[in-house]
Amino acid sequence: MRHDWSKLKKDKKFRVAGAVCLLLVLILGYFLFVKGRNNNKKPELALPKISTYQVKRADMKRHIVLSGHTTADATIVLAPKYNGHVKSVNVQLGDQVSEGDVLLVQDTGDLDIAIMQGEAATEAALADTETEEASYNANLARAGAAYEIEKSRYERQQYLYTIGAISLERLETAKNTYVTSKAEYDALMDQNNGSSPASVRSKLYNARKNAYNVDALRKQREDMFIRAPRSGVIGYRNVEVGSYLTAGSKVLTLVDNSHLYVDCTLSENDAALLTTGMPVNVTIDAMGATYNGKVVYVSPAMSDESKSYSVRISLDVAKGNIKAGLFARTSLDILQRRDTLFAPKDALLSKNGKTTVFVYNPDTETVEEREITIGLINDDEVEILTGINEGEIVAVSSIDRLKNGGRVTLESPDEAGDGN
């Protein structure tokens, strides 16, 4: 019997392929079975990792950072008081001037004429006063003499009438003459109810009025000379000879850098801690230097516009190259409370109107949620009044994952960073 070798070979190949397929099916089934068992197992939850802080007693301070710009002791805008042409300008931009220096002169020609006219009118009024006074004195002397004569004559006529030497008609004539002279004399005396008679005082008042007008013109003339009210540097110049100036127009600015300040703003919480006289160190980056200074002003009320408080720092520097407008910064630590307990803000959890912390127990590696009472607050820390004792340890990270009595693990030093 002859065997069909090609057919036998073909059957053998089919058997090998079938065995391989069966093996693959078995392997796949095993892996699916193992995976199913693993999926049915409950995963173990990782314990929260926390960093901690040990509560201790120390001085609690608030760190305040201030920034602002240097400000000159004074920046004065100079403007003419009266309209007029410019006769001379004696300064250039950047010139150093001293108090009292004449910086600008306006034309005073018309004023000079008005002053001379006023002086002449005053002299004329004074002359009228002297003439009036001399005339009055002469009239008074004449009336007084006439009065005395007529008085004596009337008294003599009375005597003669009593002895029958004259008639009644002659006596009446003497009486009328006497009464008339007395009235004239009394009228002149009534004018002299002060140091001088009314007519003389009227002339004198007119002379004084003219003199006052002249003084006003002289003052106006003096105001046409714009002088430096203090020493400083010309920081603005917008005027030329011959130009016409209107009253109140800005022509020059005088900057006094003899003393410099730094003006800053700060919040109400910080303003409550600052007091005048506090020493500070001020850094001016443009100068590459730090200067001593002190707080000289803290505004008593909040600004309605910026909703902040103003602070002025006086710089203790000699006159130099520091200019107004340079950026300056400073910081200071202000004592809030001595020897008190405090903890980082990150340790606090607020809910339902209560403030709590998680206290860590290193023996059991668990945390206890504990309600506390807080006091003062600064940027990073909160004072603890009740609820925690000195030396206890509180969690300062992952507190939203913690629960009362729950177990935790501590972060490694590398993970904890700045945590204690």
65 located within any domain: no
Report the half-sphere exposure of 165 (CA within 13 A, side-chain side).
7
- pTM score of the predicted model: 0.57
Q: Are residues 217 and 120 in the same domain?
A: yes
What confidence score (pLDDT) does residue 18 get?
63
pLDDT digits over 160-174, tens only? 888 888 888 888 888
- Is the domain of 402 the same as that of 317? no
**Same structural domain for residues 229 and 89?**
yes
Which of the four pLDDT bands, split at 50, 70 and 90, describes residue 34? low
Average pLDDT over residues 344-370: 92
For residue 124, give the CATH number of its domain: 1.10.287.470
267, part of any domain: yes
In a domain, 42, yes or no: no
Contacts with 167 (C-beta within 8 Å, 6 or more apart), sequence order:
161
**Inside any domain, residue 364:** yes
* Mean pLDDT calculated for residue range 4-26: 59
Claim to verify: residue 118 and residue 210 sit in the same structural domain: yes
351 in any annotated domain: yes
Do 244 and 270 belong to one domain?
A: no
Considering the domain architecture, whether residues 390 and 407 belong to the same structural domain is answered as yes
Say yes or no: 56 and 193 in one domain: no
Last residue of a domain, one of 288, 308, 335: 335
Same-domain status, 279 and 345: no
pLDDT tens, residue by residue, 301-310: 888 888 889 9
Instruction: Looking at the structure, tell me whether residues 124 and 196 fall in a common domain.
Output: yes
Select from 303, 318, 335 the last residue of a domain.
335
Half-sphere exposure of 94 (CA within 13 A, CB side): 0
Buried b (16+ CB within 10 A) or exposed e, 93-129: eeeebeeeeebbbbebeebeebbeebbebbeebbebb
* 347 has pLDDT over 80: yes
Mean pLDDT of the 331-342 span: 88
Q: What is the CATH number of the domain that holds 292?
A: 2.40.30.170
Residue 79, pLDDT score: 96
Q: What domain range includes position 84?
A: 80-107+224-250
CATH of the domain at 367: 2.40.420.20
240 and 103 belong to one structural domain: yes
Do 372 and 357 meet the contact criterion of CB atoms below 8 Å apart? Answer: yes
Encode 262-298: b = buried (16+ Cβ within 10 Å), e = exposed: bebbbeeebbebbeeebebebebeebeeebebebeeb
**Tally of domains within the chain:** 4
Q: Is residue 299 part of a domain?
A: yes
Structural domain ending residue among the three candidates 313, 335, 357: 335
Mean pLDDT of 27-41: 60
pLDDT at 1: 45
Q: Give the model's confidence band at 38: pLDDT under 50 very low, under 70 low, under 90 confident, else very high.
A: low
Looking at the fold, whether 103 and 120 belong to one and the same domain comes out as no
Q: What is the mean pLDDT of the chain?
A: 84
**Per-residue pLDDT at 279:** 92
Question: Mean per-residue pLDDT for 297-324?
Answer: 85
Taking residues 255-283, what's their average pLDDT? Answer: 88
Burial class (CB in 10 A: 0-12, 13-18, 19+), 337: middle
pLDDT at 251: 96
In a domain, 33, yes or no: no
Reply yes or no on whether the pLDDT at 5 is more than 50: no
Note whether residue 68 is domain-resident.
no
Does 22 or 226 have the greater pLDDT score?
226
Q: How far is CA 168 from CA 147, 152, 164, 181, in A?
A: 21, 17, 9, 20
When pLDDT is averaged across residues 118-145 and rounded to a whole number, the result is 77
pLDDT attached to residue 15: 64
Lowest mean pLDDT among 91-95, 139-143, 304-308: 139-143
Q: Are residues 348 and 398 in the same domain?
A: yes
